[in-house]
Structure 1
Amino acid sequence: MDEPQNLPKMKKFFKIFGFVLLGVIFLGTLGFLYQKSQAKPDVFKDETPLITNIIQKTVATGSVVPRKEVEVKPQVSGIIQDLYVQAGDTVKEGDVLAKVKIIPDMVNLNAAEARVTKAKISFEDAKLDYDRQSKLFEKQVVSREDYQKAKLTYDGAQAEVEAAENNLDLIRKGVTKTSQKTTNTLIRATIDGMVLDVPVKVGNSVIQSNTFNDGTTIATLADMNDMIFDGKVDETEVGKIKEGMNIELTIGAIEHEKFDATLEYISPKGEEENGAIQFEIKANVNLKKDQFIRAGYSANADIVLARRDSVLAVPEGLLQFDNDSAYVEVETQPQQYEKRYVETGLSDGINIEIKDGITKDDHLKGPKVEPGSKDS
């Protein structure tokens, strides 16, 4: 009999409980959203000044080449008969590099042979006259003057025969009987150095250098102990450099090694390349003992424009500017900063020298720390 009377009370209880639960959930949601909407205070990374070297430099691109590089060309045209060197060999001035076999021009050969024949005929005639005049002079039949004329004609005819034969030998062989060691068929080195290239092979035809042709290159020689950096520098930087500056070379093919060089030439005239004006520069490469650089290596030259050693510096990103003045923000209390003006000096694009305004013990305001980052 009591259950029907308690049923309305239970329904009323659950109804009130449901409204209370919804109210709690609603208030909890509002509190959560409110807390989430509140911005957390910004946290900044702590930075300190550093003692470092500031080096201001510009970079020039180019290659390392020998200062003295020559192409050896033949003195006569013909065919390569022998080659005595190959690329990489070291030679001295005067060493024989190759031998050329002369292929004579038939017109010149025919004219030289005809000259020899004519010279011998003239010689035989002069000899007969000389012998006759000599006998008559011994018998005092002719005067000394006639005898001397006959002897002079005889000596001239004999010299002409020798000259004609030598000319024929030069056309046929490139050498005469009286000058075997000075033949121009032997191609000799013109400088001391290393053979960089031998672009011909045995059997190749070559031509001598003349007014209309540069001639065939037999070998390229260079002094590999005297190397220079040949590069280009932009017009915006050329006014900052001068002869005598130190250069640090980085060669792509030689890792983990630097080469010292000294700037010795700056071109007075620029050339346009890809829309920019470039000036040629040359620098003497200071090779150490037993150092060897191959010709033609590409290289980058770091030209030191200015340098400060062991100076107080900060990263350039920490600097802020107020009109023409630079300042940094120095920490006075945790995450509280004050503006402090500084006097700046040399910059290398990453760090900048601080001459006055802060000390190495100051803590500076760095970049903002994002939530979830390693620095947060």
Structure 2
Amino acid sequence: MKRFLKIGLLLVFVALVAWVFVYLYKQSKAAPTVYETETPFKTNIIKKTVATGSVVPRKEIAIKPQESGIITALFVEPGELVKKGDMIARIQIIPEMVQVNEAESRVNKARMAFENAEADFNRMKDLFEQNVIAISEFQSEELRFKTSREDLQAAENHLQLIQEGVTKKMGAKTNTVIRSTIDGMVLDVPVEEGNSVIKSNAFNDGTTVAMVADMSEMVFEGKVDETEVGKIKEGMHLLMTIGAVENEMFDAYLEYISPKGVEEGGAIQFEIKAAVKLKEQQFIRAGYSANADIVLDRRDSVLAVNEKVLQFSGDSVFVEVETEDQVFEKRLVETGLSDGLNIELLNGLKEEEKVKVPTI
């Protein structure tokens, strides 16, 4: 019995050793590598650079008052459409006391001169009607009378303009009503009723009462890096995408490239502007952020491969073409335009040939 047990244990040990040797042999034997292949294909190759920026109206006007004063009424709100000449706001003029005092003094002097001229004129008129004086003397006195009357009226109008911003003769024309200077949409009204406003002068840009813009004509304003600015020129086609408008592309055409760059984040950036082509009745809000792809060059319907299949040796470019199953040979190829993912094939490959995808 013991003998059979020993023989059994020996057989188990031998089997275990044999299994270990077989397992180690299989583990040491490397599995053959199977390479993936790709075939050339026809596609459009577009080389482009990206400019980031925003979409703004081409014509955006800051409406400012013609006189300083206090806002007494606002007639528009942001988002409303206005025509040229429509009322934006009304102001109450707060005159300077020095100007008022000078204007009142001028009125008093003009009134005294007029009253004196009127008395002289009436006296000369009586003498002329009695044929005591010549007509030339009467006409001279009449001219002085009319001139003094005009001076008085001008002084009174000047005082009224200082105090009220309008005269009776002006009718609807007044500096106290602020009107739109263009057709467009009100983008912003940064003031409220009761706010003081200042007119534009040599020392002050003036208070902006409203921003009005023509929203039918939009412009893309962006920045291009100095490494790319030399490759673009006016008239180039841009493909623009707006972050707030999903799944839609806009056409734009480059119309301005700044001659001077500005340093931003350690790199020199050049400003560009492009006219955006909007569809009929399409509305784009001012200030939307946008990206514009500037088409530097393109090839349509050309034979191409993915750049990952290319291999390099010095200045030479080659691929490995499959001649038999998992058997490859090196072949030099001539390449053209690349978009960073696919590259144009000028010579060296046919459309039906399979190319090895190198492993990293």
Normalised TM-score (structure 1): 0.92
What secondary structure, in the 3-state scheme, does the structure 1 residue paired with 2:121 have?
A: helix
Q: Does 1:263 align with 2:254?
A: yes
Distance 2:180 2:69 in 1: 18
Number of equivalent positions:
360
Q: CA deviation at 1:27?
A: 2.1
Q: Which residue of 2 is the match for residue 202 of structure 1? A: 193
Q: CA deviation at 1:158?
A: 0.7
Distance 1:237 1:151 in 2: 79
Give the one of 11, 15, 19 matched to 1:24: 15
Q: Does 1:84 align with 2:84?
A: no
Q: CA deviation at 1:15?
A: 2.7
Q: Which residue of 1 is the match for residue 170 of structure 2? A: 179
Distance 1:20 1:26 in 2: 10
Give the one of 350, 368, 372 matched to 2:341: 350
Letter in 2 for 1:327: F
Distance 2:271 2:154 in 1: 53
Of structures 1 and 2, the larger Rg is shown by 1
Q: Does 1:226 align with 2:213?
A: no
Q: Does 1:127 align with 2:108?
A: no
Q: Which residue of 2 is the match for residue 309 of structure 1? A: 300
Q: CA deviation at 1:106?
A: 2.0
Moved more, 360-369 or 21-30: 360-369
Normalised TM-score (structure 2): 0.96
Unaligned runs of 5+ in 2: none
What secondary structure, in the 3-state scheme, does the structure 2 residue paired with 1:114 have?
A: helix
After superposition, where does 1:323-342 map in structure 2 within 5 Å?
323-342=314-333
Give the one of 35, 45, 48 matched to 1:54: 45
**Is the CA contact (8 Å cut-off) linking 1:50 and 1:313 kept in structure 2?**
yes
Q: CA deviation at 1:334?
A: 1.3
Moved more, 82-91 or 339-348: 82-91
Q: CA deviation at 1:347?
A: 0.6
Q: CA deviation at 1:139?
A: 2.3
Distance 1:101 1:368 in 2: 80
Distance 2:245 2:299 in 1: 28
Moved more, 28-37 or 296-305: 28-37
Distance 1:91 1:17 in 2: 106
Runs of 4+ in 1 over 6 A off after TM superposition: none
Q: CA deviation at 1:367?
A: 4.5
Identity value in percent? 59
Distance 1:354 1:111 in 2: 86
What secondary structure, in the 3-state scheme, does the structure 2 residue paired with 1:269 have?
A: coil
Give the one of 156, 160, 169 matched to 1:169: 160
Q: Which residue of 2 is the match for residue 147 of structure 1? A: 138
**Is the CA contact (8 Å cut-off) linking 1:43 and 1:368 kept in structure 2?**
no
Give the one of 189, 197, 205 matched to 1:214: 205
Deviations 1:218-258 (A, max 9, x none): 11111111111000000011111111110010000000111
What secondary structure, in the 3-state scheme, does the structure 1 residue paired with 2:156 have?
A: helix
Unaligned runs of 5+ in 1: 1-9, 370-376
Q: CA deviation at 1:340?
A: 1.4
